Amino acid sequence: MRKVLYLQWDCFGEEYICESLKKAGLTVEMYSVPYGKVSMRHDEAFENKLEDHLAGGEYEFVFSFNYFPAVALVCHKVNHKYVSWTYDSPFMFLYSTTIALKTNLAFIFDKATVDELRKKGIETVHYLPMAAPVAYYDSLYSSSNVRKKYQSDISFVGSLYTEDRQDQMKRLKGITQETKKYLEMLIGLQLQSYAMPIFEKFLNPAVIADLQRVCPIPLGEDEMQSDAWMYANYFLARQTTAIERTMLLEAIGNEHQLKLYTPEPTPQFPNVDNRGPVDYCNEMPYVFKNSKINLNITLKSIYSGIPLRAFDIMGCKGFLISDFQADFGGIFIPDEDYVFYTTPEDLYGKIAYYLEHEDKREQIALRGYEKVKAEHTYDHRVAQILQML
C-alpha cells in the first residue's frame, strides 16, 4: 500500500490535493500540525512526536503545503522523503539551511525564488505553479439568488494590508527623516514598476542600520536570508501593496461597480461595495463565476509567481485582469487566456474596454478556463510531483 502522511494545518487547497493524491492511487493519512502554537523552525517536542509517528508506519513521503524546517529535520533523521509545496510569499522558512537536506523535495510557486535559491547552491528546490480544482468549480451551480448576491461588474478578493496586524511599517517609527524619505522614494519607484521588486537591492547599509536600530530582527543560526530581505519583503513590499491596492480600488470604484471582498473596513472607499471576507471553498468561486471582471493585484513580495487567486479565477471560467507577473509568460498567452496591465492608466482603460466588449471578454475567459482545465489542475500537479520522486 502506497501511503502519504499529509501534514494538516489551516491552509488553502487541502481537500483538492488530498483528493488528487487518492486518485493517483495513494492512501492519505492526516496528521495535525500545531501551526502557530509551536515553532515550525525547531521544536523538540513536536519533532519527537512526529518521529515516533513516522516510525510506526511505511510512507511513500510526507507532504505539506509550505515548507517547515522542523519537519525537514525529522524526515532527514529517519530517511523519509519530505515533499512540500510553498504558495506563500514572503516565506522565510525557505531560507533555512535545512532546505538543502537531501530528503527534501521542495516545490515553490515562484520561479524567481527558485532561481535565487539555486544560485545559493540549493538543489532540492523546484518550480511548481499553483493549480485550480476545476472539476469542483464545474460542479457549482449559480442559482438566481446566488447570481443576484455575487454578480458584479468588477470584483477583487484579497487583503488590503491596512489592518493593524498586517501593518508592519508602524514598527519602524523612530527612523530618521533621511531614512523615511529614502524609503518613501523606493516605494514610489516600486509603484511605477511591474518588474522585479527593487527593495532588497537598494537598501544600503546606512538605511539597514537605522532600521535595525528601531526594529531589530534577530536571525537564527539556520537562516540564510539577509536583513535587507526581511525589511524588503515583510515591511516595504506590504506597505507598497497597501498603497497600490488602495489607490487602484478607490479609482475603479469611483467609475464602475466594484465589489470588494476583504476583512478590513473601508470607510475611505464610499463608492466601493465592501462585502467582507468570503469563504475560500464555498463562496469565493461564486464571486469569480458571477463577476464580469476579476482583478488580481499581486502582493509585491511575490517576485515572479502567479498567485493562487489567478488560477482560481480562470478555473471558475472567470475573466482575469492581472498586473504583470513574469511566470504568466511560460504558461498563459496574454489577451487570449487572460489580460495584464502595466500601469494604472492601462488598467483603467482595459476595464472600460472589456466591460463594453462582452464577446471578447467571454472568449478570453473561456480560453483561460480551458487552459487551466487541460494543464493546471491538482491532478496535473500531483502527477508532476510523483514524477520527481
Q: Residues 6 or more apart from 333 whose CB is under 8 A from it?
A: none
The answer to whether residue 112 scores a pLDDT higher than 90 is yes
- The C-alpha cell that represents 45 in the structure block: 517536542
User: What does the alpha-carbon distance between residue 210 and residue 356 come to, in Å, rounded to a whole number?
Assistant: 51
Enter the C-alpha cell of residue 98: 535545512
Give percent above pLDDT 90 in the chain: 91
| Residue 166: pLDDT over 60 | no
| Residue 388 Cα distances to 57, 82, 99, 212, 346, angstroms | 22, 12, 17, 41, 41
Residue 381 lies in a domain: no
pLDDT at residue number 145: 97
User: Are residues 365 and 254 both part of a single domain?
Assistant: yes
Domain boundary among 102, 128, 154: 128
pLDDT band of residue 365 (cuts 50, 70, 90) is very high
Mean pLDDT, residues 114-129 taken together: 97
SS3 232: helix
Does the structure show a pLDDT above 70 at 167? no
In a domain, 388, yes or no: no
Between strands 152-157 and 82-86, the pairing is unpaired
Q: Does residue 389 lie within any of the structural domains?
A: no
Residues 142 and 206 in one domain: no
Instruction: State the average pLDDT over residues 359-382.
Output: 98
Mean pLDDT of 291-295: 98
The pLDDT value given to residue 346: 97
Residue 32: exposure state from Cβ atoms within 10 A (0-12, 13-18, ≥19):
exposed
Mention every residue, 6+ apart, whose C-beta is less than 8 A from residue 161.
167, 238, 239, 241, 242, 245, 299
pLDDT higher than threshold 60 for residue 164: no
Q: Are 231 and 179 in contact (CB under 8 A)?
A: no
Are 109 and 207 members of one domain? no
Q: What is the mean predicted confidence (pLDDT) over 140-163?
A: 94
Task: Choose the weakest-confidence range: 170-174, 247-251, 339-343.
Answer: 170-174
Q: Are 128 and 149 in contact (CB under 8 A)?
A: no
Task: Indicate whether 160 and 173 sit together in one domain.
Answer: no
Write down the mean pLDDT value for the chain.
95
Domain region containing 314: 134-167+242-376
Task: Give the chain's domain count.
Answer: 3
Separation between Cα atoms, residue 258 and residue 271, nearest integer Å: 8
**Predicted pLDDT at 195:** 73
Residue with the bigger pLDDT between 162 and 374: it is 374
Phi, psi of 103 (to 5 degrees): -80, 0
Whether 162 is covered by a domain: the verdict is yes
Contacts of the segment 46-52: beta carbons below 8 A, 24+ positions apart: 46/70, 47/73, 47/74, 50/74, 51/77, 51/78
pLDDT tens per residue across span 297-325: 999 999 999 999 999 999 999 999 999 99
Q: Return the CATH number at 30.
A: 3.40.50.2000
Residues 280 and 160 in one domain: yes
Read off the pLDDT of residues 193-221 as tens digits, 9 standing for 90 and up: 887 789 999 999 999 999 999 999 888 88
- Arithmetic mean of pLDDT, 128-134: 98
CA torsion through residues 252, 288, 236, 346, sign: negative
**Structural domain contains residue 348:** yes
User: Judging by beta carbons within 10 Å of its beta carbon (0-12, 13-18, 19+), is residue 279 exposed, middle or buried?
Assistant: exposed
Cα separation values, 288 from 55, 261, 309, Å:
44, 11, 10
pLDDT digits (tens, 9 = 90+) for 58-96: 899 999 999 999 999 999 999 999 999 999 999 999 999
Angle, helices 237-253 vs 177-191, to 10°: value is: 50
Is there a single domain that holds both residue 10 and residue 101?
Answer: yes
Q: Tell me, yes or no, whether 357 and 218 share the same domain.
A: no
